[in-house]
Amino acid sequence: MEVSDFRNFALWISFLTGFTMTSYSEDQCSWRGSGLSQAVKNVEQVWLRCAEGSVEWLYPAGALRLTLSPRLPWSAMGPGESSRSPVSACIKPDQHWGGAQLYLERDGVLELLVGDETSSPARVRCFSAMPGERPALFMQATPHQDISRRIAAFRYELRGDWTAQPSVNTDPIGSEGACRPCNNTEILMAVCTSDFVVRGNIRSVETDSNLKAAVIKVSATRVYRQKFALFPESGRLTRSGEIRTPLQCGVRPGGGSFLFTGRVHFGEAWLGCAPRYKDFLKVYEQAKQSLMIPCTLVND
């Protein structure tokens, strides 16, 4: 289908969705449905009102239009920030994706995110949206003689604190700025706002070719905070976990203790600021003495 046809098709979608039933999941975060109960020419309208969730379309037939209208992250931003700060939305297709194509719908134009049975379906796709903008995803079933084994499923996340990416991007969080060392203010704020704050040592660094990321194997001596069990207890004095960072940052194993901070992205830890622990203590104590510390971290 040509680009001009996509524009016309998108307009037809907007007209047609006014006559289809709106579908909600029980928690309005995720949706699960079957194409067997859907008319082939119908477009089902789905509203997803959370910052993260999942979609699972069994035996795709017809089409779905998914509007991302979360309460977060826009409501978590300050009044002045909400009018200008973009939001990053990312999707991660299931590794067995098949039976449909997924598009980003923006200003009447459809942009392909995931093709049918793409060769690398597990790679994350990201795009940016301005606060107040309600990005929509359009899923179109592709004709197959046998749809019994086809499932189009993906997970999605929206955050207001990632670096926004123009259009489609396969890098889940990183950008050129992801490799820049954090300044003192950023280090202190990372301790307060990160999904995980861990003191530990680098055991090894491996490469994840699918995500184009370096996987840092960490032995954690102190877990101050963690979202999910990123560094689970194993009955030993230290905990082990993995932290990912863009491959272009060139992370290598190094001696000494670090303070690792960062975000959880589709259940995986991604590195933010990671100063050496002794350097962090200097910054922390100086801020504490000058009463400029944004939050308190309990030290050993």
Task: List the one residue out of 115, 151, 116, 147 whose CA is nearest residue 40.
Answer: 147
Alpha helices in 17-135 (DSSP H): 79-82
Residue 212 confidence (pLDDT)? 77
Degrees to nearest 5, angle at CA 97 with 46 and 208: 115
- Rounded to the nearest integer, the mean pLDDT of the chain is 77
Choose between 4 and 44: higher pLDDT: 44
Q: Give yes or no for residue 224 having a pLDDT over 50.
A: yes
Condensed to tens digits (0 to 9), the pLDDT of residues 168-218 reads: 344 444 444 567 889 999 999 999 989 999 999 999 999 887 777 899 999
Q: List all residues 6 or more positions away from 261 whose beta carbon is below 8 Å from its beta carbon.
A: 190, 191, 194, 196, 197, 198, 271, 272, 273, 274
pLDDT at 282 over 90: yes
What is the CATH code for 176-289?
2.40.50.120
Q: What is the pLDDT of residue 254?
A: 79
Decide if pLDDT at 163 tops 70: no
What's the CA gap between 106 and 104, in Å, rounded?
6
pLDDT at 154: 94
% residues pLDDT > 90 (the chain) = 32
The predicted structure's pLDDT at residue 284: 93
For the segment 242-257, the average pLDDT, to the nearest whole number, is 87
Which residues is 200 bridged to in the sheet? 220, 258
Q: Over the stretch 6-18, which tens digit does the pLDDT of each residue have? A: 444 444 444 344 3
What pLDDT was estimated at residue 103? 95
Q: Could you tell me which residue, 286 or 174, shows the higher pLDDT?
A: 286
The better pLDDT of the pair 145, 259 is held by: 259
Query: How crowded is residue 242: how many other Cβ atoms within 10 Å of its Cβ?
Result: 14
Q: According to the CATH classification, is domain 3-159 in 1.10.150?
A: no
- 226-235 residue pLDDT tens: 988 898 876 6
- For residue 138, pLDDT over 60 is answered with yes
In the predicted structure, residue 273 carries a pLDDT above the cut 90:
yes
Q: pLDDT class for 135, splitting at 50, 70, 90?
A: confident
Please tell me the pTM assigned to this model. Answer: 0.67
Token digits of residue 263: 């975000």
Structure confidence by residue, pLDDT tens digits, 62-112: 899 999 877 654 434 433 344 456 778 889 998 889 889 999 998 788 999
Position 2 scores a pLDDT of: 45
- Pairing state of beta strands 125-129 and 87-93? antiparallel
Tokens representing residue 167 in the block: 């259009």
Q: What is the mean pLDDT of residues 252-273?
A: 89
Which own/partner pairs from 2-7 qualify as long-range (CB within 8 Å, at least 24 positions apart)?
3/109, 6/103, 6/109, 6/110, 7/108, 7/109, 7/110
Please tell me the predicted confidence (pLDDT) of residue 161. 55
Domains 3-159 and 176-289 agree in fold: no
Model confidence at 38, in pLDDT bands (50, 70, 90)? low
pLDDT of residue 170: 41
- Phi/psi for 269 (5° steps) reads -85, 130
Per domain, the residue ranges of the chain are 3-159, 176-289
Identify the pLDDT of residue 11: 40
